Amino acid sequence: MRPSLVIHGAAGRMGRRILALAVEEQIFDVVGAVDHPGHPDAGKDAGTLAGVSPLGIKLGGEFPQKASVVIDFSLPQAAAKTAEWCEKCGAALVVGTTGLERAQMEILTAAAKKIAIVQAANMSLGMNLLFSIVGKVAAALGPEYDIEITEAHHRLKKDAPSGSALSLAKSICESTGRDYPGCLVHGRQGKDVPRQTGTIGMHAIRAGDIVGKHAVIYGTQGETITISHDAQSRDTFARGALRAAQWVLNQKPGLYSMQDVLGLK
């Protein structure tokens, strides 16, 4: 018997791809497709909306009675509702929603005392590899190398900088003793804005339908090193979320990351 899956944010771009791949790969039985109750597609078959065969499950604003695991790609303010429902029915949770604030992370941390939760700003294997090495590179190169982070996403992305760009910055700060987020400089403007030693430049680009591009630039006198990742399809993140959902089913209560899922810690 396959584990049952609920997708929160099922009407969004990521939610639809996760649902479609879950159906195609037959890893889970999709039992719920949840989104804002006022969504224009509410009441329509979730499978049809995702571009696969009809599932007999309608897109709606309420969670079903029970599920093994929930994958959440909704909105930051929905974190409390999702975590509360998962606690109530004992479901594991995978949170890929970005832009979570401290209060919302505190809700997840509290829920993780009772259920297993994977929370990550980025579900891509390649990006998680970057998270694990950019700090080590910064520490090895030393303070003589300036560091800049650039990220580019589609025009509809709401938060900036991206959660993944902030995760890159956190990794660098943890490895080099920089103050996070105090050392971040978000863009530059003006006639007298020279670079300050120890800062990390952060630059966000929003254009067209860019899926996701991230780069960390290390520069000093005489050379520049760039480590980058270019996501060419949302399937990269959707497959990562499904892999996390499979992994978290067998874990004890706690708050985990994709680094845990992929064994990179």
Judge contact between 210 and 232, C-beta under 8 A: no
User: Of 36, 44, 114, 157, which is the active-site residue?
Assistant: 157
Residues 86 and 104 in one domain: yes
Q: Measure the CA–CA gap between 166 and 172, rounded to whole angstroms.
A: 10
Looking at the fold, whether 71 and 88 belong to one and the same domain comes out as: yes
Model confidence at 160, in pLDDT bands (50, 70, 90)? Answer: very high
Report pLDDT for 97.
87
Say if residue 181 is in the same domain as residue 216: yes
Q: What's the whole-model pTM score?
A: 0.83
Range of the domain at 50: 4-119+234-261
- Which pLDDT does position 83 carry in this prediction? 93
Lookup: tokens for 95: 């949170």
pLDDT at 265: 73
In this predicted model, what pLDDT tens digit does every residue of 188-242 receive, in sequence order? Answer: 999 999 999 999 999 999 999 999 999 999 999 999 999 999 999 999 999 999 9
Residues 86 and 131 in one domain: no
Active-site hit among 153, 203, 214, 229? 153
| Band (33; pLDDT cuts 50, 70, 90) | very high
Write the CATH number for 225: 3.30.360.10
Query: Among candidates 208, 241, 205, which has minimal Cα distance to 73?
Result: 241
Indicate the average pLDDT of the chain: 95
Average pLDDT over residues 148-160: 95
The confidence score (pLDDT) of residue 6 equals 98
Q: Is-catalytic flag, 229?
A: no
- pLDDT of 57 reads 96
Please tell me whether residues 173 and 67 are part of one structural domain: no
Q: Is the pLDDT of residue 79 over 90?
A: no
Q: How far is CA 15 from CA 69, 131, 216, 243, in A?
A: 14, 24, 28, 15
Looking at the structure, tell me whether residues 14 and 49 fall in a common domain.
yes
High-pLDDT (> 70) share of the chain, %: 100
DSSP-derived pairing of the beta strands 146-153 and 200-206: parallel
101 residue type, one letter: E
Q: Which is more confidently placed, 99 or 106?
A: 106
